[in-house]
């Protein structure tokens, strides 16, 4: 793939792989980046399109709201439009993703410094950055939430800063709202467990430095882009983890105007100095917790250079209300991390899967822990406690279910809660939790939250779900399709199974006879079992000796 000596794909090679896999849509008609581009891609997340049918969108004819045409194409969904896209970027099968991350975090590969780099084929600095239509204003940066956002915003970022004490660099995915051709405002999370870049900012302030060097990378190679949203330990340089994911050192080059190392194969790098004294209003901007974040003071950055490839592509993440590209990137890596924590760190072997609820709740608020049937009650509560405390901003509500429940179906989860949970014994509320990521409410700035744990597992064997067996549903689906009826999108659960339920083989055999039109045989058998002196609705078990 691409340069074999390099050993990893850049963004454009990745797009070629997506095209070959049928996962890239190229849009050549004019599209307004300020009012149409993100809403168009948004439809595949809110329009009933199945996750596996989502694609990356490459826009080659981009205009702004005033009809001005741009030289650069824009791609959205290229990193994690769906799970398959992410796995192509990782060059791994879904089941290989977590082992790959585990190995990479434990065995980082230092980068290789090069002198010449594709990301610096074109260098713009000095007076060339100033004036309308120049500098940042040359770039087709989309408005993410038209109707609410106040500016085009850089979203698909690796924002690079360096610890002034240790020299270790940090890659974080932080947004940056455009303010002028040579100025943007960067937002780095300040909450508990927040951004590594913000910690660097505080250190520069403490030292008395009036500016902090910063480089905003757009269109990094996928293995590099994927490390930025992850919450790695503060003393880990993300570029080394990216190298371990790739199995080769990542090529880096010194930025032109700031003392930072940037990915050599990036599409574009915006270099600058963040002001550590003054803050500037930024926003409103649609946030991943599902609400528009009001305007707030954040970090202004004076742009000192923009470097890019001659044929650069501008990458943008679809974020805001989940599911989104941003949540897909996190979900593919977060869920295996939770599972590894519960199974390997805490030793709860009965845990089979951890699912972070994505739609609207942004992965952080609700965790579904799937446990094997028969897992001891004490282990279920250990698993719930572990899931709720693993990350400070995740697991406010944790629900344990068995594997007959589809954790991606809220209806199935509510069904388990409704019929398998006794609120008096199967529910715990734990106090003293940070509110975490969510819409900010000024009058509750110092409030505390709580954690809700629910055991919605089966406490005893239950009969199967009252839906036809799979073979009968599939047979009926063929008839449906032969009739030319509307296309089906099966929603779990769509068939019943006796496996693992309270269902003796005699009932299975009787059901098979009935489905074959032989119900009279069942009637002759039941006639022989008539008894006196019983109350109606007295239960009968064909496998019971009583």
Position 440 scores a pLDDT of 58
Token pair in block for residue 210:
């009036």
Residue 218's CB is within 10 A of a number of other CB atoms, namely 27
Q: What are phi and psi of 373, to 5 degrees?
A: -60, 135
Residue 518's CB is within 10 A of a number of other CB atoms, namely 11
Position 278 scores a pLDDT of 94
User: For the segment 194-242, what is each residue's pLDDT rounded down to a tens digit?
Assistant: 678 899 999 999 999 999 999 999 999 999 999 887 777 667 889 999 9
| Unique residue bearing structure tokens 């500098």 | 135
Q: What is the value of pTM for the model shown?
A: 0.80
The answer to whether residues 356 and 394 touch, using CB atoms and an 8 Å cutoff, is: yes
Residues 51-72 have a mean pLDDT of 93
Q: Is the model's pLDDT at 2 over the cut of 50?
A: no
Task: Tell me how far apart the alpha carbons of residues 495 and 168 are, in angstroms, rounded to a whole number.
Answer: 53
Q: Is the model's pLDDT at 329 over the cut of 90?
A: no
Q: What are phi and psi of 249, to 5 degrees?
A: -65, 140
Position 508 scores a pLDDT of 86
Task: Tell me how far apart the alpha carbons of residues 48 and 486 are, in angstroms, rounded to a whole number.
Answer: 14
Domains belonging to the chain, first-starting first, are: 11-316 (2.30.110.10), 346-455 (3.40.1670.10), 470-527 (no CATH)
Token pair in block for residue 360:
């609207």
């Amino acid at each position: 793939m691409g340069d074999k000596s390099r050993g990893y794909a850049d963004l454009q090679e990745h797009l070629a792989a997506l095209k070959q896999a049928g996962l890239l849509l190229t849009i050549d008609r004019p599209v307004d980046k300020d009012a149409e581009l993100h809403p168009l891609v948004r439809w595949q997340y809110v329009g009933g399109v199945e996750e596996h049918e989502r694609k990356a969108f490459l826009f080659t004819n981009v205009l702004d709201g005033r009809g001005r045409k741009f030289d650069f194409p824009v791609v959205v969904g290229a990193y994690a439009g769906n799970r398959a896209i992410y796995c192509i970027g990782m060059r791994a099968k879904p089941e290989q993703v977590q082992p790959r991350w585990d190995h990479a975090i434990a065995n980082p590969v230092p980068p290789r410094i090069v002198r010449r780099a594709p990301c610096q084929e074109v260098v713009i600095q000095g007076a060339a950055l100033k004036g309308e239509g120049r500098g940042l204003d040359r770039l087709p940066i989309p408005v993410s939430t038209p109707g609410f956002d106040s500016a085009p915003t850089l979203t698909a970022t690796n924002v690079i800063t360096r610890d002034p004490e240790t020299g270790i660099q940090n890659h974080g995915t932080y947004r940056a709202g455009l303010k002028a051709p040579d100025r943007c405002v960067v937002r780095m999370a300040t909450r508990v467990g927040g951004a590594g870049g913000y910690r660097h900012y505080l250190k520069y302030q403490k030292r008395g430095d009036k500016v902090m060097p910063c480089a905003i990378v757009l269109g990094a190679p996928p293995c590099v882009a994927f490390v930025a949203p992850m919450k790695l330990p503060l003393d880990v340089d993300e570029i080394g983890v990216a190298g371990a994911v790739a199995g080769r050192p990542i090529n880096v080059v010194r930025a032109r105007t700031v003392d930072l190392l940037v990915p050599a194969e990036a599409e574009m790098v915006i270099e600058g100095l963040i002001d550590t004294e003054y803050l500037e209003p930024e926003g409103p901007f649609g946030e991943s917790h599902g609400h528009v974040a009001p305007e707030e003071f954040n970090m202004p950055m004076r742009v000192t250079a923009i470097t890019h490839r001659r044929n650069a592509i501008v990458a943008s993440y679809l974020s805001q209300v989940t599911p989104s590209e941003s949540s897909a990137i996190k979900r593919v890596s977060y869920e295996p991390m939770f599972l590894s924590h519960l199974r390997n760190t805490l030793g709860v072997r009965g845990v089979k899967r951890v699912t972070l609820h994505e739609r609207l709740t942004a992965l952080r608020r609700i965790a579904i822990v799937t446990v094997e049937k028969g897992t001891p009650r004490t282990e279920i509560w250990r698993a719930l406690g572990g899931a709720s405390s693993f990350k400070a901003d995740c697991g406010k509500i944790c629900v344990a279910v068995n594997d007959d429940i589809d954790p991606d179906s809220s209806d199935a989860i509510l069904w388990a809660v409704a019929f398998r949970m006794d609120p008096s014994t199967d529910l715990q509320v734990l106090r003293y939790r940070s509110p975490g990521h969510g819409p900010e409410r000024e009058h509750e700035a110092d409030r505390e939250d709580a954690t809700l744990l629910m055991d919605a597992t089966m406490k005893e064997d239950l009969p199967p779900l009252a839906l036809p067996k799979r073979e009968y549903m599939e047979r009926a689906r063929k008839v449906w399709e032969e009739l030319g009826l509307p296309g089906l999108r099966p929603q779990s659960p769509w068939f019943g199974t006796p496996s693992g339920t309270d269902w003796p083989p005699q009932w299975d055999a009787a059901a098979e006879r009935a489905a074959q039109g032989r119900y009279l045989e069942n009637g002759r058998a039941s006639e022989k079992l008539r008894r006196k002196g019983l109350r109606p609705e007295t239960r009968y078990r064909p496998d019971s000796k009583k």
